Amino acid sequence: MGKKTKLALAIAAASAAAWAGSKAFLKPQKREGKAVLQKSPVVLAHRGGAKLAPEHTMIAFDKAFELGVDGFEIDIRLTKDEEIVAFHDETIDRTSDGIGAIRDFTLEELKTFNFAYHYKDEEGNYPYRNEKVDIVTLRELFEKFPNMYINIDIKDSPETYEGSLMPSKLWRLIEEYHAENRVVVTSFYSEQVDRFNLYAQNRVALGAGETDVKKAFAAYTSQFRHLYQPKVDVFQLPQKHGRITLDSPKFIAFLNKFNIPVHYWVIDDEEQMKKLLENGAQGIITDRPDIAVPLVRNWIESQAEKNENEK
């Protein structure tokens, strides 16, 4: 046996010993269950249900609430006068007037625009062009829907002035309305979630950012799954990212071992909803709450009946 072969065998043996030793002494560190995540499965109206009404408007939130959703999935940005508003795009060209970013306008100025001007219904009509539909603040949502689950996605980059202010501004507003137990705070930027938690100190449920998802999936596909230490409470995922499948039952089960529920977006098709629920998903984020709410309710009832029959 040559020196290279002996060295390779020694490295392999050491790696195997390290793996066995780590598995023997380390157990998965489960996340503490947050109150907002106890119900499962849930239906969250994406931006209020963007295929049924103008997204991020009170029209959409009211309609989704009437349909019986468990909560809303919203994006937030900071205005020029540092008000937190529900809005996805960086620019406001969805409105009746004005070109620019949310950060370029005060809330009073934004209230002069019609935020439903470009909304087109299924018949191809523009039903709100002769109305003025206001932008919605997070404060207004907290006040109008005091018991609703709200999933809050920070859109302002941490590298911007607005993004640097958002974690502290958001925490103070959540604390003011005692909403700690009914919101999830997440962001594509994992750094924003980390910075928010410096204020929240794990008193608010945290959603996974892009970095968190990459770390979790890398751990899942490795031999060192048991070394994974999550720092968030819930994952909101697409079914696929590029060629990577993120909705497999095994990946969902892997996250569930850490007491982390998994929600999928944006799911508007009944068959996809059923598949995800069968795979173990704990939430459906949808533009079509009129489809998702009755489907999930029927699924819950069928599961309860199935469990009863198996007793």
Instruction: Name the average pLDDT for the chain.
Output: 90
At 34-71, the pLDDT tens digits run 999 999 999 999 999 999 999 999 999 999 999 999 99
Position 224 scores a pLDDT of: 78
Position 275 scores a pLDDT of: 97
Tell me, what amino acid is at 285? I
Domains identified in the chain and CATH numbers: 39-91+135-310 (3.20.20.190)
Instruction: Give the Cα separation of 262 and 67 in Å (integer).
Output: 23
Look at the chain and count its residues. Answer: 311
Position 24 scores a pLDDT of: 43
For the ranges 8-12, 99-103, 226-230, the lowest mean pLDDT is seen at 8-12
Instruction: Give the Cα separation of 115 and 256 in Å (integer).
Output: 39
At 75-95, the pLDDT tens digits run 999 999 999 999 998 887 766
Whether the pLDDT of residue 192 is over 90: the answer is yes
